[in-house]
Amino acid sequence: MRRSLLHHSAGHHLIPWGRFCYGPTAESYAQLFQRCRRGEMFTHPIAVLGAVQRVNRDRQDRPYIALALNVPAADGAFHVAVRSEHPTLIEPLVPGTHVLAVGAGWEVFNGGHLPQLRMWAGEHWQLAYWTADEDQATPPRCPPPVTAAQRGHAQAGQPAAGVPPRPEQPPAVPADATPAQPWQGPPLPPFPPPGPGEDGRRGALRRWLKRARRRA
């Protein structure tokens, strides 16, 4: 019997399971990737199943997870990622954790080394996670709900309380900075052939420095 999902917001029609839940196989991820790349508009939530492969941090020092890496596609490869403006939604998701991410905002982001099939989670109920190890199996659960203070910080573009500030970056070189000028003095003398051994190389360097000083 073909599994299906009852979709309440569009006339109570049935949605095939394969059009609702994707993963954890590469072929299944690729199907959703192609749907997003074609620009399909989803009228119902999409669920993606996988296990955390890696935890990264973005430029705002917020964690995000990769559920799949280097997934083959017809025109290359892509990653599958789940992100959030609220770090507490992602922090419980450590490598090896099984995750079910649900949302209607799946998209393809082309700004990295490889395209990302990604979703931004804004609510705790969009993420369920569990472990399946025989010794440490846990039932599915959700991260803590997002607080009003966290939402305010996210809207203001500020880190939430308890999140350390991002380390300062070295100052960038101004665009109008004067570039370094090439050597404008007299031509330097040719380097003399060194003698044998380390003493020979040092002697050749001393002779070259003396000649360079006389020309300066």
Name the band, by pLDDT with cuts 50, 70 and 90, for residue 70.
Answer: very high
- For the stretch 72-82, pLDDT in tens is 998 899 999 99
Q: Are residues 96 and 53 in the same domain?
A: yes
Q: Are residues 116 and 198 in the same domain?
A: no
Q: Are residues 14 and 89 in the same domain?
A: yes
Q: Is residue 71 part of a domain?
A: yes
Q: Is the pLDDT reported for residue 207 higher than 60?
A: yes
The arithmetic mean of pLDDT across residues 53-70, rounded, is: 95
Q: How many Å from the N-terminal Cα to the C-terminal Cα in the chain?
A: 89
Higher pLDDT, 70 or 205: 70
Residues 90 and 12: their CA atoms lie apart, in Å, by 33
Q: Are residues 142 and 38 in the same domain?
A: yes
Q: Is residue 108 part of a domain?
A: yes
Q: Is residue 170 part of a domain?
A: no
Place of tokens 């003698």: 195
Higher pLDDT, 88 or 201: 88
The tally of domains found in the chain comes to: 2
Name the band, by pLDDT with cuts 50, 70 and 90, for residue 165.
Answer: very low
State residue 109's pLDDT score.
Answer: 96
Are 70 and 114 in contact, with CB atoms under 8 Å apart? yes
What range defines the domain where residue 200 resides?
185-216
Cis peptide before 24 (omega within 30 of 0): yes
Higher pLDDT, 11 or 68: 68
Closest by alpha carbon to 101, among 2, 37, 23?
A: 23
CATH code for position 147: 2.40.50
- Mean of all residue pLDDT scores within the chain: 78
Residues 37 and 107: their CA atoms lie apart, in Å, by 8
Name the band, by pLDDT with cuts 50, 70 and 90, for residue 158.
Answer: low
Residue 78 pairs in a beta bridge with: 71
Q: Is residue 161 part of a domain?
A: no
Q: Are residues 75 and 120 in the same domain?
A: yes
State residue 132's pLDDT score.
Answer: 85
Q: pTM of the full predicted structure?
A: 0.67
Name the band, by pLDDT with cuts 50, 70 and 90, for residue 135.
Answer: confident
Q: Are residues 61 and 112 in the same domain?
A: yes
Q: Is residue 169 part of a domain?
A: no
